[in-house]
Amino acid sequence: MSKKMCLLFMNSATFMIIAVFFVCVKAEPLADKQALLDFIHNINHSTHLNWDKTSSVCKKWTTVICNTEKSRVIALQLHSAGLNGQIPHNTLSRLTALQNLSLASNNITGSFPSGFSELKNLTFLFLQFNKFSGPLPFDFAVWSNLTVVNLSNNSFNGSIPLSVTNLTHLSSLVLANNTLSGEIPDINIPSLKYLNLVNNKLSGVVPKSLSRFPSWCFSGNNNLTFVNAYPVKSPNSHKKRKTKGLKPALLGIIIGGCVVGLVVIVVFLIVCCYEKCGEDRQLIKSQKNKEVSEKKEASESRERNKIVFFEGCNLVFDLEDLLRASAEVLGKGTFGTVYKAALEESTTVAVKRLKEVAVGRREFEQQMEMVGRIRHENVAALRAYYYSKEEKLMVYDYFEQGSVSTMLHGKRGVEKISLDWESRLRIAIGVARGISHIHAQNGGKLIHGNIKASNIFLNSQGYGCISDIGLTTMTSPITPPTLRTTGYLAPEVTDARKATPASDVYSFGVLLLELLTGKSPLLGSEEVVHLVRWVNSVVREEWTAEVFDVELLRYPNIEEEMVEMLQIGMACVVMIQDQRPNMDEVVKMVEGISRVNSGNRPSTESRSENSTPTPHAIDTPSNSLPL
């Protein structure tokens, strides 16, 4: 190589290095980086942060998130970082593109940093569990995009600034556990879904615009009064409802024909009254009586109008809202009809209208309280209930995708969807965990009693989630034959109210077989064959492979797992209930099958658990598999 060429090469190499360096540097929000360094060097913190001056903010620094162009820092999540002391002046306020800021659960002192008013794009602000003190910022309106604000558990004092009423995107406002005083401003923001002002020193009247939140969102305050305990609908929400009136309202569906009957009765009574009570005195007397009873009725109906909600300071609605919501029948089940009710654009719930409730108010409420307290990712949460003599309603989350039964078999107007093997495994695992959790409630006395594919939905992670808990105990004893027709009821159960954990296990076994075979629990149209009997006969004839849903045969390398699930299913549906495994054992077995689950579980352990055949499992000769 000549000297010249060598020089040229060296030159271009240097140039490249400089270029690379330049590009690297260019892709850094340098000003934001310096602001963060200035911040962290001037506040005591016990947690080590890898904020190295020489490394890339966007790529290396934990707790920091940049925009896609890597030109600005848009999120800083410094919760529980052991920060101690005041926020240094003119540091974080330079991160003007910040959208998310969390400094929650530290020991930050001082007043609300005035520099935060520079963070005009701020959308989520979490400062809860610190030692901030002094007044809240005067002008909230500078954060026009602010959506979630949590300032709870600090020592903020003074009043809630009027300017919060200008935050049109606000959806959560949590100011609990401070020492705020004065009156609550009229926060008439339709998007506000969650409000918590618990434990402050607020006084005066709760504005009407906020009376749609339950009273405990305001509890622990000095001297707050409620003018109107019942939700007042904003004119806005009325308008919204009007524009989407195409679907019939729940009320319409429920009473439908009854109205005609009611009018006839009223007319009859009036005619009757005029004929019988000719005398004026009597008429006046009866009118007085009527007035008294009307008053009584009105107060009773107000009481009746109360829907009981579980947990939280979420937006509430009353019976009127519910009945007026646009509705659609989702299905008719053993215990009643389920409707989809759309309250507002963002709030859709499933409402179950119970029939044949054979217990009184007290027992009903006790059962609802027990079921309503259950919060588990594999149990569909009961959000609210309603009880009156003529109407019993249960309000659940609405699951967009429909039930597992609809997925497997379709229903009128809805095509079935193809569920792959992993989805079916996730359903089985989720439901098993859900039932096991239910069986652990109330000292082991809570039974599901009605496990079937149409009561099973998918949670956000695609795992099974079970609904409709504990209704069997409240219905009249006539129902077992009705239950029998669904094919999930254990043979020993003669009174649906006396379902047992073992009968739940049986029903779960039927569900497993349903997931495996893709067949409904009752087969055939003329001569009904029970799925359990069919599976048993096929397996006995050593045609095991024929059991499985043809749709599943598309997926490679799952035969072993399908056989494992078959064995578990058959163990659950043995005739003698003492020989069935309990639900905890079933959970372990089902989890043992799964590959999907190996990520968050010691898979070797569950594997070995599974490789010891359960005492109840029927040995399926794997050589009968032609696969």
Ligand X SMILES: *[C@@H]1O[C@H](CO)[C@@H](O)[C@H](O)[C@H]1NC(C)=O
Q: Can you spell out the DSSP letters for 569-624?
A: HHHHT-SSGGGSPPHHHHHHHHHHH-STTGGGS-HHHHHHHHHS--TT-----GGG
Does residue 33 have a known ligand-binding role? no
For the chain, give the longest Cα–Cα distance.
131
CA proximity to 132, closest of 180, 96, 90, 95: 180
Contact between residue 560 and residue 571 where contact means Cβ atoms under 8 Å apart: no
Q: Which of 127, 174, 357, 451 binds ligand X (CB under 6 A)?
A: 174
Q: Cβ closer to ligand X: 223 or 611?
A: 223
Question: Residue 133 interacts with ligand X (CB under 6 A)?
Answer: yes
Which of 91, 196, 211, 436 binds ligand X (CB under 6 A)? It is 196
Smallest distance, Å, CB 214 to ligand X?
Answer: 14
CB distance 581 to 432 below 8 Å? no
Regarding 65 and contact with ligand X (CB under 6 A), the answer is yes
Q: Is 121 exposed, middle or buried (0-12, 13-18, 19+ CB in 10 A)?
A: middle
Smaller CB separation from ligand X, 145 or 520: 145
Decide: is 115 part of the binding site for ligand X (CB under 6 A): no
Q: Tell whether residue 150 is a contact of ligand X (CB under 6 A).
A: yes
Nearest approach, Cβ of residue 373 and ligand X (Å): 17
Give the start-end residues of each E strand in 413-454.
Answer: none
CA gap 551, 535 in Å, rounded: 17
- Do 615 and 465 form a contact (C-beta atoms < 8 A)? no
Q: Please report whether residue 100 would count as binding ligand X according to CB under 6 A.
A: yes
When asked if residue 214 is in the footprint of ligand X (CB under 6 A), the reply is no
> Which region among 168-176, 247-255, 418-426, 551-559 touches ligand X (by CB under 6 A)?
168-176
Q: Cα(572)–Cα(507) distance, rounded to whole angstroms?
A: 8
**In this chain, which of 2, 68, 223, 525 binds ligand X, going by CB under 6 A?**
223
Candidate list 27, 40, 49, 141; residue touching ligand X; CB under 6 A: 141
Q: Which CB sits closer to ligand X, 74 or 565?
A: 74
Q: Which residue has the tokens 């004119």?
A: 235
Closer residue to ligand X in complex, CB, 165/405: 165
d(CA 568, CA 572) in angstroms, rounded, equals: 6
By CB under 6 A, residue 93 contacts ligand X:
no
Out of 120, 285, 533, 595, the residue judged to bind ligand X by CB under 6 A: 120
Distance CA 264, CA 470 (A): 39
Please say whether the beta carbons of 153 and 128 come within 8 A: yes
The secondary structure of residue 379, as a DSSP letter, is B
Residue 116 lies near ligand X (rule: CB under 6 A): no
Binding residues: 352
Contacting residues toward ligand X, per CB under 6 A = 42-44, 65, 74-75, 82, 85, 96-97, 99-100, 105-107, 120-121, 124, 128-129, 133-134, 141, 144-145, 148, 150, 152-153, 157-158, 162-163, 165-166, 172, 174, 176-177, 194, 196, 198-199, 203-204, 223
Binding residues for ATP: 352
